Amino acid sequence: MPPDDPLPSRLSSDVYAVLRRQIVTGELRPNQPLIELDIAERLQVSRTPVRESLQRLAHAGLVVPRKRGWAVREFTPDEIRQNAEVRMALEGYAASLAALRGSPSDIAAIVAIHERRLNLRSSDEAMRVKTNRDFHDAIMRASGNPRLTDAIYHSGQFYFNAPIARVTTGEELALGNADHALIVAAIKKRDGPAAEKAMRAHIQRTFALFWRVTGLAEPLDVRQE
């Protein structure tokens, strides 16, 4: 949830941001116990903000309670598959809403980003990552539903562990622009169901690729319909 207010800076928010990043990038390994005092000293704060940020992380599902204290949550391949399905549900619906009621300028923005991406030189990895993110963001924005956007954002943090962090940034890039083109076409035609279907298929293919790249066991039943 990107705050729209000039939020008062609070240490626990900073600590949360740092820990979140370290967990999602895998710097803090799954099942690693989180020692409050270590973190506090590392970040030069007292235990209070650390504990408060751990509460948030727990609610976010990134850390799990132990008998005492907390540990970085480990996700199984199956849980990652489950999460992919959540994304298919949410982002698919966002695409459908974008098609059905995105404003002309919303849709122009989507098209523009897509086309910029088509003209990218294949070597420009960073730019491909950025435009991919922009593409998905633009669709969420066009959905006209900030809470939906929020939910998608929240569901997007569960791909760490193992080599996942690296892959999920790279993943979708390798798929080429064919998927995106299908989505754009459906949105331009204001065809909600088609946009939804295309987006779901896109996410599904992304994860199929993901299993291949990571070498993790592919959970059963990824396929649908």
Partner DNA sequence: GCACGCAAGTTTGCATACAAATTTCATTTC
Partner DNA sequence: GAAATGAAATTTGTATGCAAACTTGCGTGC
Q: Which residues bind DNA (CB under 7 A)?
A: 8-12, 33-37, 45-49, 51-52, 65-69
- Minimum Å gap between C-beta 48 and DNA is 3
Residue in this structure with the two tokens 């408060």, named with its chain if needed: 52
In one letter, which amino acid is 73? R
Question: Site for a second copy (CB under 8 A): how many residues?
Answer: 48
Query: Exactly one of 24, 50, 97, 199 binds a second copy (CB under 8 A); which one?
Result: 97
Binding mask 152-181 vs a second copy (x if CB under 8 A, - otherwise)?
---x--x-----------------------
Rounded distance between C-alpha atoms, residue 37 and residue 193, angstroms: 52
Query: Exactly one of 24, 39, 63, 88 binds a second copy (CB under 8 A); which one?
Result: 88
- Minimum Å gap between C-beta 213 and a second copy is 22
- CA distances (Å), origin 42, targets 65, 214, 215: 21, 31, 34
Rounded distance between C-alpha atoms, residue 78 and residue 220, angstroms: 8
Rounded distance between C-alpha atoms, residue 97 and residue 148, angstroms: 10
| DSSP letter, residue 61 | T
148 makes contact with a second copy (CB under 8 A): yes
